[in-house]
Amino acid sequence: MNLRFILFPKWLRRRWSVATFSLCLILVLLLGGGNSVLFAFADESRISNSVESVSLTKNARRTRLANGLTILTKEVHTAPIVTVQVWYKVGSRNEAPGVNGIAHQLEHMLFKGTKDRPIQFGRLFSALGSDSNAFTSYDMTAYFGTVERNKLKALMEIEADRMKNSVIDDKKLESEKRVVISELQGYENGPGYRLSRAVKRDAFPNHPYGLTVGGTKADVEKFTPEQVKSYYNRFYSPDNATLVIVGDFETEATLKAAKDIFGKIPKHQSSTSEKLGNTIPKLETTIKPPLEGKVKPPIVLKEPGSAALLEAVYPAPDVNNPDVPALDVMNYILTEGRNSRLYEPLIESGLASGIDGGVANLISGGWAEFSATATPGKKLPDIDGAILQTIETLQTKGVTLEEVNRAKAQLTASAILGNRDINSQAQQLGNDQTVTGDYQFTDKYLAGVQKVTPADVKRVANKYLKPSLRTVGYFEPTQISGKPGSQATNSSQTSESFNAGPPVDPAEVAKYLPKIDSETVSSTQSLPQTFELKNGLKVLLLKDTSTPTVSLSGYIQAGTEFDAAEKSGLASLTADNLTNGTKTRDALTIAKILADRGAQLGASANREGVSIGGRALARDLPILVDVLADLTQNAIFPTQELELSRQRALTSLKLELDNPGRVGRRTFQQQVYPKNHPFYNFPTEASLKAISREDLVNFYQQHYAPNNMTLAIAGDFSPKQVRSLLESKFGSWKKTTQTSSSTLPEVKLPAKTVRLNPTLPGKTQSISILGYQGISRRDPQFYPALVMNDMLGGSTLSSRLGSEIRDRLGLTYGIYSVFATGRYPGPFFIQMQTAPEDAQKAVDSTINVLKQIRSQGFSVEEINAAKSSLASSYNVEIADPDALISTILSNQVYGLSKEEIRDFSRKIQEVTPEQVNQATKDLLHPDNLVIVTVGPPLS
């Protein structure tokens, strides 16, 4: 549970680019469909009408307390959980050089304890089973947690406590400054971050939006407790905050509780705290576009890296400007998907391997942004020229009604699909209220999108995308080999001896927990309807009418386990090329049909299979299924498209080999697993170039078969009709008689600890990974191992490792441990990010924690607390529709019963202390570790 900058769903991010610094897993948008779908739902008109009339703020209510606190409530009774969020109208917009990053530093400090609760708040959240986190952005700082409904008041009491009583002293601040600097230096590892920072600084030199959200190392190092406390007193006031509560509660009773808890907090008195404000240099409060005239030359960064990057920024209006909907439609037409204006001149031409764009509209202004990654050997000025020419063509010739309608469909569907879980719904309400002052803004925005015309798009393109207004930056790598530095073992390096601090006493945590309502939260999770087609395709259906949407999650046993070493990357290239054409549809046709409906469908290969993910409005499920059926049965892998895909894969490989985390995992697995094990293999330049079209066709014919596939669908549909649809679309697919299975070699523990240190020039942080092979999902010790791992490193803010390495020693921004279980035993590993000079101390301290746990075990109280936390957090997790359907699918793939979705929490609670401590002895091997640390060369 790391503190981080948040990245909202794409449709929301494009309006209020909350931050650009989060890591996220992005589905490859692979699939589209044809126009000849013959199947329709009997109740499609009901679903269609519900989509057209949907209101994302329906049932939401705003209340304002006497102290100025705004409260937004929205009852959602789909699961017995509730989310509580507190949004403060303060971010990097309220900073200046010298105090850049103070809002982010303060966010970190609010987890360090209060006068009445002098304890790491992450431990309190863990004890509640809360999915809790926080983020800082340009215009706001927000704290959020999701819990079972009987813990609602407890969560409110914790948030109210830190709104008023947080302790900021020298010791805590110095420790947390090291953590923040580690976080910031981690971002410095990414060339894209460094380029974006340079471009924004140049585009907005006199506005705080030109500052980085997280701040700078130089400023953070100088923060004093007095500065941070002054900032806290000035901005953390109820009249500058919005409390958002969404979920399974009764409004009147909850409002009464909120008034009792928050109503007694006094609002800020201006006479007490203008001290900090008087020390901040005055910057512009509104973005002013530069005077029209000469076009600025590109900013050029020549630094270590692996791929050439481009970023261009144009000033844009604030969020309440009436041009915002048209700007978003324009952006979708230019950048969204295969049918976008920039795809052909950049991607299809082979100039670039990736293109993206967005419009950020914030309180004081915003920007339109375009970014691209060059294909190896291609020049950034050529890419820049193609972008400018495409924009100029749009400005002079305009856009078609078809393009505008497609963008409207994408924006509308993305908004609805991004609002299905209660956390997302609360984020939308909190963001709207904080940034625009109107919690119903999104409904009005979507209505505005529907009114956009082709003339509006042409007008805003001419108004805002003038060449004289833009700032463009080029990142030109000075190290372009795409290979990490040589590996060196440091077995001769001495290890320091660090004593691990005492474990956290669960009784100490319980002492500071607010009272939890005595209600026992119980709900019976609906079980999926399961059946198998005659050709062996396994199906799980779960009806959910809470929103007019559907989620699809699929699995095909066609993963990288079947890659030969000399053709490593074959499974991934096959999955990546599914959408490049079928027997009856070309790539553009495939992409167009999904885009016209705002539907999403993606596939990617991993170590044990191909994962398929799709989301759509419920009325479009027949199209989603039709396209998936076509791609799994009729893909033809055109040669030209394969070559472009290969180039993108080679670019991705270069980027991967410049990423410390990815290099670390590759090095780690190739040390843990023998060369004849499929988990050893990773794509190389040679293996990707060796793959032929014939290889893809043969792989597809051998492994893509109905008896190798499992499909799970959840949402607003009739199971009977969907079964008929699936039989119609997949029933004639012939099963394979070839066996898709692997015989894996034995994997042994290292005889002694092995240390490897690949080097990557130009990096500012190191990534360390420690571990060995772990267990499979069906291992008898799976549940005890899960409880043990939760205490060891399941959460950075509440685990033994987090308490020691992050909180006590201040050596890392984040540390976690995981058993990567699956059909086969995956690795057990611990991963952390540190300053290069701290890596050895952090690794040795981690080993000492492992030794302490292995020799002393865990107490009964600690184990019981972990079981309670895991069971509660599981119930919170599966309330998310996408997480629910993914879990249902995984259970099927792993050979578990469909009742596992109900039984998981009970099985966790039944784990005994004896089983946990036995698993600790059986599964923790501190003297037999593979340790990989990747970072810059140490002088």
Domain that holds residue 620: 529-731
- Please say if the pLDDT value at position 48 is more than 90: no
368 and 308 inside one domain: yes
Determine, yes or no, domain membership for 269. Answer: yes
889 and 760 inside one domain: yes
Helices and strands, counts by H and E, the chain: 32, 22
260 and 409 inside one domain: no
Asked if 936 and 839 touch (Cβ cutoff 8 Å), the reply is no
**More confident site: 30 or 933:** 933
Structure tokens at 197: 């920072």
Asked if 800 and 921 touch (Cβ cutoff 8 Å), the reply is no
479: confidence class by pLDDT, cuts 50, 70, 90? low
Task: Please report, rounded to a whole number, the percentage of residues in the chain having pLDDT higher than 70.
Answer: 88
Determine, yes or no, domain membership for 747. Answer: no
**More confident site: 533 or 29:** 533
246 and 368 inside one domain: no
351 and 231 inside one domain: no
- Please say if the pLDDT value at position 21 is more than 50: no
Q: How many domains does the chain have?
A: 4
Residue 761 has, within 13 A of its CA and on its CB side, a CA count of 13
259 and 123 inside one domain: yes
Determine, yes or no, domain membership for 939. Answer: no
474 and 424 inside one domain: yes
Q: What is the pTM of this model?
A: 0.91
278: confidence class by pLDDT, cuts 50, 70, 90? very low
> Which of 670, 700, 731 is a domain's end point?
731
Determine, yes or no, domain membership for 16. Answer: no
Percent of the chain as helix, strand, coil, to the nearest 5: 45, 15, 40
- CATH number of the domain enclosing 879: 3.30.830.10
| pLDDT (0 to 100) of residue 797 | 85
- Cα separation, 937 vs 490, whole angstroms: 13
| pLDDT (0 to 100) of residue 798 | 87
State the residue for tokens 């495939």.
590
Asked if 826 and 179 touch (Cβ cutoff 8 Å), the reply is no
- Cα separation, 356 vs 312, whole angstroms: 11
929 and 881 inside one domain: yes
Determine, yes or no, domain membership for 12. Answer: no
- Cα separation, 558 vs 740, whole angstroms: 8
112: confidence class by pLDDT, cuts 50, 70, 90? very high
464 and 584 inside one domain: no
- The CA radius of gyration of the chain, in Å to the nearest whole number, is 27
- Cα separation, 9 vs 335, whole angstroms: 16
Give residue-wise pLDDT tens across range 824-872: 999 999 999 999 999 999 999 999 999 999 999 999 999 999 999 999 9
| pLDDT (0 to 100) of residue 272 | 39
- Please say if the pLDDT value at position 550 is more than 80: yes
782 and 893 inside one domain: yes
- Please say if the pLDDT value at position 765 is more than 70: yes
Give residue-wise pLDDT tens across range 73-100: 999 999 999 999 999 999 999 999 999 9
Which class for 42: exposed (0-12), middle (13-18), buried (19 or more C-beta within 10 A)? exposed
Name the amino acid, one letter, at 412: T
- Cα separation, 889 vs 529, whole angstroms: 12
517: confidence class by pLDDT, cuts 50, 70, 90? confident
| pLDDT (0 to 100) of residue 795 | 87
Determine, yes or no, domain membership for 844. Answer: yes
645: left (phi over 0), alpha (psi -120 to 50) or beta: alpha
State the residue for tokens 């040390």.
671
- Which range has the worst mean pLDDT, 265-279, 440-454, 828-842, 875-889? 265-279
> Which of 277, 307, 339 is a domain's end point?
277
Where b means 16+ CB within 10 Å and e means fewer, 212-249 reads bbbbbbebbeebebebbbbbbbbbbbbbbbbbbbbbbb
Determine, yes or no, domain membership for 837. Answer: yes
- Please say if the pLDDT value at position 702 is more than 90: yes
| pLDDT (0 to 100) of residue 199 | 97
914 and 855 inside one domain: yes
pLDDT, mean of residues 33-46: 40
| pLDDT (0 to 100) of residue 44 | 47
165: confidence class by pLDDT, cuts 50, 70, 90? very high
Give residue-wise pLDDT tens across range 571-627: 999 999 999 999 999 999 999 999 999 999 999 999 999 999 999 999 999 999 999
| pLDDT (0 to 100) of residue 268 | 80
- Please say if the pLDDT value at position 756 is more than 60: yes
938: confidence class by pLDDT, cuts 50, 70, 90? confident
Q: What average pLDDT does the structure give for the chain?
A: 89
724 and 804 inside one domain: no
> Which of 219, 246, 277 is a domain's end point?
277
Give residue-wise pLDDT tens across range 201-245: 999 999 999 999 999 999 999 999 999 999 999 999 999 999 999
Determine, yes or no, domain membership for 483. Answer: no
Name the amino acid, one letter, at 357: G
